[in-house]
Structure 1
């Protein structure tokens, strides 16, 4: 048997979701993948629904809160934005479908969709906050926010084979002026 921690269950859940989609998030499959019992699962989670909610909270922590925390180590808003874009580019080269799978899951279940929408709004608001500090004009900041956010989603969906150099070139075009 392998070690039994909550984080281990959540990491396995994210990997299964990424590789095989929402339908793979079955208690029996998680247990088999981890070589643990259903009792081990229920030690950490009262139900599959609780697991799903904690999995989404974990996704938010790793791919929103941690990205923002990392970006905030920059000095100016422009430096923070550059750090954020760099971190996103890093994630794009992992050949991950996680964001796509979570988005699809959100379209299939209302409660999941509501949570995912809150995360998207949190991400967008952070981007807007940085851009408003850079541009000082709220309309211009919002316009650039929509461009950058849409670009990020578009690249994630349609251009997974771009090199790191190509990705940097694309995003460099949309970074605010010095």
Structure 2
């Protein structure tokens, strides 16, 4: 196997987290699964804690900041919401469940989960606020959309992409009824 880059370690770390949970992120286990020595790990990370922090930063960047950036390519709010939904449906995986669980027992994971939840809800609020004239209702819609997503991936078994999309379609008439801009 060619030498692993820092990004390789982080991508593999998220994959292992998604499939096996946070306990599988031990240095020895990571090295065994990747077929490399611990020296490869320490070439990129000073210690296990530094790896976990980098992994959470990578998750935040890839699963939140990048999603937001890509959705902003949409020309309308509806297009931005569609891009965001499509991205979530194709990319959210087991790592979301495991990080949320991990956040209940680890201060670092808790801090990242809190920040990511705040970023996601804030962005949804910004989008819904363009459609809904009332701040309280726009925030409630952002919370409804986000908690629907979190609930759908935490169900056992998780909802399929088709089932989730069917649920999100139910938001359309609700949005129309809340939108003051549609009436003018």
Q: Contact (CA 8 Å) 1:2, 1:35: kept in 2 or not?
A: no
1:16 is matched with which residue? 16
1:61 is matched with which residue? 61
CA gap of 1:98–1:112, structure 2 versus 1, over 3 A, is same
Cα deviation code 1:32-56 (max 9, x no counterpart): 1111111111110011100000000
SS class of match (1:23):
helix
1:3-42 matched pairs, under 5 angstroms: 3-42=3-42
1:163 shift after superposition: 4.2
1:118 equivalent among 111, 115, 120: 115
2:124 is matched with which residue? 127
Separation in structure 2 between the aligned mates of residue 123 and residue 65 of structure 1, nearest angstrom: 9
Give RMSD over aligned pairs: 1.6
2:179 is matched with which residue? none
SS class of match (2:57):
helix
Question: Any unmatched runs of 5+ in structure 1?
Answer: none
Cα deviation code 1:120-175 (max 9, x no counterpart): 10111000011111112111101111111111111111164544333222101113
Q: Contact (CA 8 Å) 2:128, 2:142: kept in 1 or not?
A: yes
The TM-score with structure 1 as length reference comes to 0.91
Structure possessing the higher relative contact order (Cα contacts under 8 Å, 6 or more residues apart): 1
1:55-134 matched pairs, under 5 angstroms: 55-92=55-92, 96-134=93-131
